Structure 1
Amino acid sequence: MTALLDIDQLRTFIAIAETGSFTRAAEMVFKTQSAVSMQMKRLEERVGKAIFERDGRSSRLTEDGEKLLDYARRIVKLNMDAIGAFADTELTGRVRLGVPDDYADRYLPDIMTRFSQANPRVEVTIVCEPTPMLVERIQAGDLDLAIITHVEHKGPAEFVRYERLLWVTSSLHSIQNEATLPLALGRASCCWRQVAVERLEAQNRPYRVLYSSWNSTAVGAMVLAGLAVSVLPESAVRPGMRVLGPIDGFPPLPSCKIGLLRNWREQTSLADALAALIVQSLDNLAGHAEAAE
């Protein structure tokens, strides 16, 4: 075998092995399920062996897959160690990152693990607030970077990720069949709330917003309790939730765009390093463009 193993494919492979699911692994590495499947097909072609076998709804490693997993973990760790060891200078200091709480839950574990391994002496201050407040903090110079829902009029954000926006309800309840649809959404200025209301009104469908919060955990709790329907990006759909579509009488929603906003007045090498890692971790634009063709 002469082909080199791809680090990104190995990271995805490890995620599948640890979760037992292509779907859950896709959420961990911030890729679509089809992109994950393609990565694993190419990895199997590289090693010349089957590394997965189906076990009901789960994906189980073959004997060759188990052998590869040990090497994969060592290769990924060694890659991170090598990057840190040969850095021209060791970064130190503090960087301030803003992120909405729902994005923090989904994206930060992977981003911060990788950043901390490469920059162990850097202090990261994380502020969890909704996009409008993070934009104000960037403008005031209180943050170096912010991961935000990309809205054109909010400022010159770097567009880094697409996600499907979905209607969700409890998988154990049928609240979506109520004559007047109960909703759990963000505050009135939330762009997801605005598009949800516009689509319902275009259908002349009666609704009422029963629960309104900036906190995604609180909104998700209302959905899981069977008290309301909400709108969430694809990666935020949790076990116990069911996606609603046209067959259920719910209109399609536009894609959710995620952006990275920078404080250009105070550019630092720390902020640049963290920004580069965020873009690398979240980027799925090529995959989205291919799917749209």
Structure 2
Amino acid sequence: MAAPLDLDQLSTFIAIADTGSFTRAAEEVHRTQSAVSMQMRRLEERVGKTLFLKDGRTNRLTEDGERLLGYARRLLRLNRETLAAFDDASLEGHIRIGTPDDYADRFLPEIMGRFSRSNPRVELSILCEPTLNLVEHIRRGSLDLALVTYDDAKGGSEAVRREPVLWVCSANHPLHERDVLPMAFGRPSCQWRRDACIALEQMQREYRVLFTSFSATVITSAVLAGLAISVLPECALRPGMRVLGEADGFAPLPDCRIGLMRGHSGQTEIIDALARHISESLDNLSVPAFIEETGNIDFNSGFHNIKGRRLKPGHVMAGW
């Protein structure tokens, strides 16, 4: 039977991948550089593959190294969750988190599932409201953490993921061919709405706003019913939607970044733990199954996550 992988070696491997340097990784894992080099030689011998290539002063992952990185993160995460499940002194308490419903359907199952398995004694209260409302809740102290649309100008949040914002319509209703485009948008304060209106004016496309709502459910319903065109982040796409691109006469829109905003309560340990879970969850989140199954993904342009990938324009979302 093959010997199991060494978790200490995997932890060091991740540190090197994240820092790009054996020296900085050695500082993070509190080992000497020679010890780190020895660990990586043994790990390469164990998997039978070269994991790093020297690129100037940095150490770049090989293709096999990239492949191992995903497994290594999952193994260490599972190790932490296993230990937490049997830890009588595990975190305990109540934490309040907020997110717009654009992000809730896609991100919350992963975040809630992982965090609850690792911290079964922590109660989560979840609020779904627009970013502007959530920022105000954070300032008033009524939320501990908020997943918001990141804004450089406003500050106060840490960018944890990047998503393309896409023009979408119903796959069964060619609304994009109309002379006057029927649109469904968030409220006038919504940055995606402002970006879309600027783009429509630059494209010299006439449009009429038929539906306005802060609820993503309302906007997606209008799109799926064939009543309007809208703009949504990739995470909010649904089966039955068509992505509109330049071939359809729609210019690309600015990407949106998703940020993590912290409150000022005294539960620092729990908040830090949940923030870490959120960052790891969003960094490792895969393409939704109903997108992956269609196979029509362009991996060379745009972003799926902070490192990511993007859908091809004209892509039609298949069924579940």
**TM-score scaled by length of structure 2:** 0.66
Larger radius of gyration: 2
Q: Deviations over 1:33-73 (max 9, x none)?
A: xxxxx89x936xx9xxxxxxxxxxxxxxxxxxxxxxxxxx9
Contact 2:84-2:90 at 8 Å conserved across structures: no
- Evaluate the alpha carbon distance shift between residue 5 and residue 129 of structure 1 in structure 2; reply closer, same or farther with a 3 A threshold: farther
| Matching residue within 42, 45, 56 for 2:67 | 42
Show structure 1 runs of 5+ residues with no match.
8-37, 47-72
Which of the pair has the greater relative contact order for Cα pairs under 8 Å at 6+ separation?
Answer: 1
Q: CA deviation at 1:102?
A: 1.8
Q: CA deviation at 1:74?
A: 11
Superposed counterparts of 1:166-181, under 5 Å: 166-181=166-181
SS of the aligned residue for 1:146 comes to: strand
Show structure 2 runs of 5+ residues with no match.
11-62, 285-302, 311-320
Who is 2:234 aligned against? 234
Who is 1:200 aligned against? 200
Superposed counterparts of 1:25-174, under 5 Å: 42=67, 80-86=81-87, 89-174=89-174
The alignment of Structure 1 onto Structure 2 pairs a total of residues equal to 233
Q: Distance in 2 between matches of 1:286 and 1:191?
A: 19
Counterpart residue type for residue 82 of structure 2: D
- Evaluate the alpha carbon distance shift between residue 214 and residue 202 of structure 1 in structure 2; reply closer, same or farther with a 3 A threshold: same
Q: CA deviation at 1:256?
A: 1.0
Q: CA deviation at 1:84?
A: 3.2
Superposed counterparts of 1:201-280, under 5 Å: 201-264=201-264, 266-280=266-280
278-287 or 162-171, which deviates more: 278-287
Who is 2:293 aligned against? none
Q: CA deviation at 1:126?
A: 0.7
Q: Which has the higher helix share?
A: 1
Q: Deviations over 1:92-123 (max 9, x none)?
A: 11101011112111101111011111111111
- Evaluate the alpha carbon distance shift between residue 213 and residue 5 of structure 1 in structure 2; reply closer, same or farther with a 3 A threshold: farther
Q: Distance in 2 between matches of 1:123 and 1:268?
A: 15
Q: Once superposed, what is the RMSD of the aligned Cα atoms?
A: 3.1
Contact 2:162-2:304 at 8 Å conserved across structures: no
Who is 1:35 aligned against? none
Q: CA deviation at 1:289?
A: 4.9
Q: CA deviation at 1:237?
A: 1.1
Counterpart residue type for residue 80 of structure 1: E
Q: Distance in 1 between matches of 2:306 and 2:271?
A: 27
Q: Distance in 2 between matches of 1:222 and 1:286?
A: 24
Contact 1:135-1:154 at 8 Å conserved across structures: no
Counterpart residue type for residue 157 of structure 2: A
SS of the aligned residue for 1:254 comes to: coil
